[in-house]
Amino acid sequence: MKTILSDQECSRLDALVVETENRTGTQIVLSVIQRSDAYEELPWKAFAMGASVSGLLLLLLDWSFCERYADVSALIMVVVMLASGALSALLAIMLPRFAKCFLSGYRSETEVRQYAISLFLERQLFATRNRTGILLLVSLFERRVVILPDKGVDGRLTDEDIGSIIAVMVPFLKRNEVGRAFNAGVEYLSSILPSSPIDVVSDELPNEIIEEDGI
Domain boundary among 84, 100, 116: 100
Q: What is residue 201's predicted lDDT score, i.e. its pLDDT?
A: 61
Q: Does 91 lie in the same domain as 60? A: yes
Residue 35's pLDDT band, with cuts at 50, 70 and 90, is very high
Supply the pLDDT for residue 154. Answer: 80
62-78 in b/e form (b: 16+ CB < 10 A) is: eeeeeeeeeeeeeeebe
CA–CA distance, 116 with 125 (Å, rounded to integer): 11
Of the candidates 100, 122, 141, which is a domain's last residue? Answer: 100
Per-residue model confidence (pLDDT) at position 42: 95
What is the number of domains present in the chain?
2
Residues 13/181, Cβ–Cβ less than 8 Å: no
pLDDT of 203 above 80:
no
The mean per-residue pLDDT over the stretch 102-127 comes to: 95
> Which residues 6+ apart lie within 8 Å of 148 measured at CB?
116, 117, 120, 125, 134, 135, 137
Q: What is the CATH number of the domain that holds 119?
A: 3.10.310.50
Q: pLDDT tens-digit profile of 135-184?
A: 999 999 999 999 999 998 988 899 999 999 999 999 999 999 999 999 99
Yes or no: say if 81 and 118 are a contact pair by the CB < 8 Å rule. no
Domain match, 74 and 176 both: no
Q: Are residues 120 and 45 in the same domain?
A: no
Residues 52 and 34 in one domain: no
Domain assignment present for residue 88? The answer is yes
| Portion of the chain with pLDDT greater than 70, in percent | 90
pLDDT digits (tens, 9 = 90+) for 41-91: 999 999 999 999 988 887 777 666 555 555 556 677 788 889 999 999 999
Mean per-residue pLDDT of the chain? 89
> Residue 26 above 80 pLDDT?
yes
Residue 159 sits in the same domain as residue 95 = no
pLDDT attached to residue 214: 86
| 190 within domain boundaries | yes
- Domain range for 148 is 7-38+104-214
In terms of DSSP bridges, do strands 210-214 and 27-35 run parallel, antiparallel, or are they unpaired? parallel
- Environment class of 207 (CB within 10 Å of its CB; exposed 0-12, middle 13-18, buried 19+): middle
For residue 12, being part of any structural domain is answered with yes
For residues 74 and 29, state if they share a domain: no
**1 is a domain residue:** no
Q: Are residues 12 and 110 in the same domain?
A: yes
Decide which of 82, 100, 118 is a domain's last residue: 100
109-126: average pLDDT: 95
Residues 170, 76 share a domain: no
- Does residue 170 sit in the same domain as residue 121? yes
Please indicate, yes or no, whether residues 119 and 189 belong to a single structural domain of this protein. Answer: yes
Q: How much is the pLDDT for 202? A: 65
Q: Do 108 and 91 belong to one domain?
A: no
Judgement on whether residues 160 and 115 belong to the same structural domain of the protein: yes
